[in-house]
Amino acid sequence: METPEVLISRERIAERVNELATRIDADYDGIAELVLIGVLKGSFMFLSDLARALTIPHRIEFIAVSSYGDEESIHSGAVRLIMDVRHAIEGKHVIVVEDIVDTGHTISYLLRLLAARQPASIKTITLLRKPDRAEVDVPVDYLGFDIPDVWVVGYGLDYAERHRTLPDICEIEPVS
Ligand code: 5GP
């Protein structure tokens, strides 16, 4: 595997995370509590930086999903819930926190699942999005960066569990 090359530096990430937090603070000004739902595992670093930059009251939850393992269902975009949130979200203001929107199937599945629980509102934030890979049209309310169709690692994102803790978002050439 080639050495990861920096695509988005830690300084640019920090700047963007602060800008997004400022917008969220303004948009939710005065609410009793915002619920941030981080999609494991990739979003954990983004969520921790975002949460620390927010000044509005908020609670943190995690949810985990995986794609069905066989080739055919990966292409059909089938997603399976493997860990649910701990507390009910009915009547709560919710933001789903994703690391990256690729085809859009994961966020589309999560929005359907969570919206059925009747939160007061539900929005999405993603650090990264690959517009060239979109298969389903999903609403992204807060966006860090659009990136090209490359495999990225670092800042929470992995390649077979490697490179997850690199401080910058880097591009690698996956070995097939
Ligand atoms: P989607 O359902 O939108 O196709 O896929 C979203 C998920 O695919 C992300 O949460 C992430 O786990 C994974 N993914 C997509 N592209 C990348 C990438 O470039 N790097 C890493 N590490 N994960 C990716």
Could you tell me if the CB of 156 is within 6 A of ligand 1?
no
pTM of the model: 0.94
Domain count across the chain: 1
Could you tell me if the CB of 151 is within 6 A of ligand 1?
yes
Structural domain span for residue 23: 9-150
CA–centroid distance, 82 to ligand 1, in Å, is 16
What would you report as the CA-atom Rg of the chain, rounded to the nearest whole angstrom?
A: 16
Residue of 102, 137, 146, 168 marked catalytic: 102
- The CATH number linked to 92 is 3.40.50.2020
Is there a domain that residue 167 lies in?
A: no
Cα 41 to the center of its chain, rounded Å: 9
- pLDDT tens for each residue of the chain, 176 residues long: 668 899 999 999 999 999 999 999 999 999 999 999 999 999 999 999 999 999 999 999 999 999 765 555 555 678 999 999 999 999 999 999 999 999 999 999 999 999 999 999 999 999 999 999 999 999 999 999 999 999 999 999 999 999 999 999 999 987 76
Is there a domain that residue 160 lies in?
A: no
Based on the residue annotation, tell me whether 137 is a catalytic residue of this protein.
no
Is there a domain that residue 90 lies in?
A: yes
